[in-house]
């Protein structure tokens, strides 16, 4: 290895160790040989580092590798270095080391609480995630303490998710009358709860006292319908948390006096930090009568989709351009399918990913102006599919399909079918077929899966004995790792935990924060797993466990 460059991640070691050019080159060669994928390789001039040969050694995981016991180096105070150099050193530490150096002296404690340090930690963490993460507000509006909490909450979720320590799992519950539907906004902070009269309450799950606040008022008496299905489309171009929210009931029958309506709202975050709250502005509200049960909905940009189960063996999908549709004129497309559908996801290029209980399918759609707004008549003409993948008799449960994440090449999903969790990549080029690959083999659990919620790297599974399994898996979107068995995944039993067998709705998982929310007959149940650290009244962070 050339002595002209070293990995940037080892810069702080050179500064603290006072290594010679030869020793430093040996260190770089040894470390990159044993852990080549662990370090970045951004070049840095070695001559500038060798000028810092008189700085003090600091113990870290390379201590034994760098210092033989027979070698004794002169010790000097780190605090005598210029502030910008100390900041550069601390920025290279991992999160746990940053918390640890607070115990050394007041000077390093103050440095460990600066925005510079935690902005660096934030950027590093986000860059390493397999799916995009987004702050609720611009990065510069956060204090160092707020960024630290944001970071440690998500790190705690990653570590606590794989632990079977009951101290790292907290279950709580609160009452809410007439709950008809719930939705957990990505980020895990905001829980939306719909009711019979069409109103929606918002809960700040991070508040010291969780209490409902009215987000959307009830509809007039003649237009009231229960909020059963909620879907959002997040506006990532906005500087603050902003999303479009769709509201829909569950069923509409031919003899009903009320005409089914679709409600579209714009939700925007106002305020900052603990004082932040959500506000709603109505975008559209139009009649969309149909006969059947609306099982699932989805919304993306100006398109709203809903699955309507017509009978035991067939379903249809309505796709509306909600911005152009009115009660008198619809801009829509209808897809007819001979399978029982359980989920839909919008894809780039006017395509839909459709999940049935036995297969995955792709459809294209084009919305068109339609003056006929009554329920469609039964038809034997099925819509042609672009692609279909059967699961050979394995039933796909509700909640088994994750949300999608896109890059410049494809859109990626995770799906559970049979005894396997799969990764699905759908290229943006229509002529290229989707790719399905195995991620986790869960046949070793053998506890009778009832229901589940699947994310991009985490899955929450409920069993018939009311135990809970938490799975974590990794998926390089361009190259799959070896299939991982689930037999070693943590399984915990929560006494009296609700399941769909006793009337509970499907669990909702926010994998960023490790939070699971589920509506039951007794109220709304929250399971938190990001308890690796706690914050006391002095805003001091303490580590519960890292094993």
Instruction: Write the DSSP assignment of 34-102 as a string of letters.
Output: H-TTTS------HHHHHTTTTSPP---TTHHHH--TT-------GGGS-HHHHHHHHHTS-HHHHHHGG
Q: At what angle do helices 83-91 and 115-128 cross, to 10 degrees?
A: 30
- Calpha distance 266→279 (Å, rounded): 8
Q: Quick check: is 180 in a domain?
A: no
Q: Which of 123, 151, 179 is the last residue of a domain?
A: 151
pLDDT at 476: 65
Count how many domains the chain has: 2
pLDDT tens per residue, range 345-374: 999 999 999 998 888 999 999 998 886 666
pLDDT tens per residue, range 276-309: 999 999 999 999 887 788 989 999 999 999 999 8
- Calpha distance 119→136 (Å, rounded): 15
Which of these, 459, 382, 381, lies nearest to 420 by C-alpha position? 459
- Calpha distance 230→323 (Å, rounded): 17
Strand residues in 325-427 grouped as ranges (E): 330-337, 341-347, 351-356, 359-364, 368-370, 387-390, 405-406, 410-417, 420-427
**Residue 237 sits in the same domain as residue 359:** yes
Average the pLDDT over each of 145-159, 230-244, 460-474 and give the range with the smallest value: 460-474
Mean pLDDT score of the chain: 78
- Calpha distance 182→519 (Å, rounded): 7
**Residue 240 sits in the same domain as residue 380:** yes
Quote the domain boundaries for residue 246: 228-390
**Residue 48 sits in the same domain as residue 143:** yes
Burial of 240 (0-12, 13-18, 19+ CB in 10 A): middle
Which of these, 508, 413, 505, lies nearest to 457 by C-alpha position? 413
Bridge partners of 369? 331
Q: Quick check: is 222 in a domain?
A: no
pTM of the model: 0.81
- Calpha distance 407→425 (Å, rounded): 11
**Residue 141 sits in the same domain as residue 242:** no
* Contact criterion met (CB below 8 Å) for 261 and 227: no
Q: Quick check: is 465 in a domain?
A: no
pLDDT at 177: 76
325: pLDDT confidence band, cut at 50, 70 and 90? Answer: very high
Q: Which of 354, 371, 390 is the last residue of a domain?
A: 390
DSSP secondary structure letter of residue 141:
G
Q: Quick check: is 63 in a domain?
A: yes
CB hemisphere CA count around 118 (13 angstroms): 21
Q: Quick check: is 404 in a domain?
A: no
Q: Which of 356, 390, 424 is the last residue of a domain?
A: 390
More confident residue, 421 or 467: 421
pLDDT at 103 over 70: yes
């Amino acid at each position: 290895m050339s002595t002209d460059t070293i990995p940037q991640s080892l810069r702080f070691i050179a500064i603290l160790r006072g290594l010679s050019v030869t020793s430093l080159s040996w260190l770089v060669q040894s470390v990159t040989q044993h852990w080549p994928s662990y370090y970045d390789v951004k070049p840095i001039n070695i001559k500038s580092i060798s000028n810092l040969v008189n700085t003090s050694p600091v113990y870290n995981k390379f201590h034994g590798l760098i210092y033989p016991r027979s070698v004794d180096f002169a010790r000097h105070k780190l605090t005598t270095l210029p502030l910008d150099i100390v900041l550069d050193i601390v920025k290279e530490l991992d999160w746990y080391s940053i918390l640890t150096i607070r115990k050394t002296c007041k000077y390093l404690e103050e440095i460990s609480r600066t925005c510079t340090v935690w902005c660096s930690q934030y950027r590093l963490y986000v860059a390493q995630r397999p799916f995009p993460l987004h702050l609720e507000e611009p990065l510069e509006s956060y204090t160092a303490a707020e960024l630290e909490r944001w970071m440690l909450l998500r790190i705690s979720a990653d570590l606590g998710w794989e632990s079977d320590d009951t101290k790292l799992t907290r279950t709580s519950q609160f009452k809410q009358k007439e709950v008809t539907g719930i939705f957990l906004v990505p980020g895990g902070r905001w829980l939306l709860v719909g009711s019979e009269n069409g109103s929606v309450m918002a809960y700040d799950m991070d508040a010291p006292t969780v209490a409902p606040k009215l987000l959307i008022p009830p509809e007039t008496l003649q237009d009231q319908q229960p909020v059963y299905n909620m879907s959002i489309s997040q506006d990532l171009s906005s500087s603050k948390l902003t999303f479009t929210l769709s509201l829909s009931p569950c069923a509409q029958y031919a003899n009903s006096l009320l005409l089914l309506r679709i409600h579209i709202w714009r939700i925007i975050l106002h305020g900052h930090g603990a004082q932040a709250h959500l506000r709603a502005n109505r975008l559209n509200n139009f009649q969309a009568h149909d006969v059947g049960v609306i099982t699932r909905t989805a919304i993306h940009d100006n398109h709203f989709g809903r699955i309507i189960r017509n009978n035991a063996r067939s379903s249809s999908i309505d796709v509306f351009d909600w911005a152009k549709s009115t009660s008198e004129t619809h801009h829509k497309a209808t897809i007819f399918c001979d399978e029982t559908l359980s989920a839909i996801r919008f894809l780039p290029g006017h395509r839909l990913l459709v999940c049935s209980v036995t297969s995955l399918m792709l459809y294209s759609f084009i919305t068109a102006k339609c003056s006929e707004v009554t329920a469609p008549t039964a038809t034997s003409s099925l819509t042609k599919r672009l692609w279909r993948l059967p699961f050979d008799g394995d039933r796909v449960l509700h909640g088994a399909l994750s949300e999608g994440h896109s890059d410049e090449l494809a859109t990626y999903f995770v799906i559970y079918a049979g005894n396997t969790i799969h990764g699905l990549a759908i290229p943006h080029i229509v002529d290229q077929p989707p790719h399905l690959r195995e991620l986790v083999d869960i046949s070793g659990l053998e506890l009778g899966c009832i229901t589940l919620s699947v994310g991009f790297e985490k899955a929450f599974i409920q069993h018939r004995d009311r135990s809970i399994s938490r799975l974590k898996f990794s998926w390089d979107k361009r190259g799959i790792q070896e299939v991982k068995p689930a037999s070693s995944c943590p399984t915990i039993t929560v006494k009296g935990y609700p399941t769909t067998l006793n009337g509970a709705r499907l669990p909702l998982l926010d994998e960023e924060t490790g939070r699971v929310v589920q509506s039951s007959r007794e109220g709304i149940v929250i399971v938190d797993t990001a308890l690796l650290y706690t914050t006391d009244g002095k805003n001091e962070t303490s580590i519960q466990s890292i094993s």
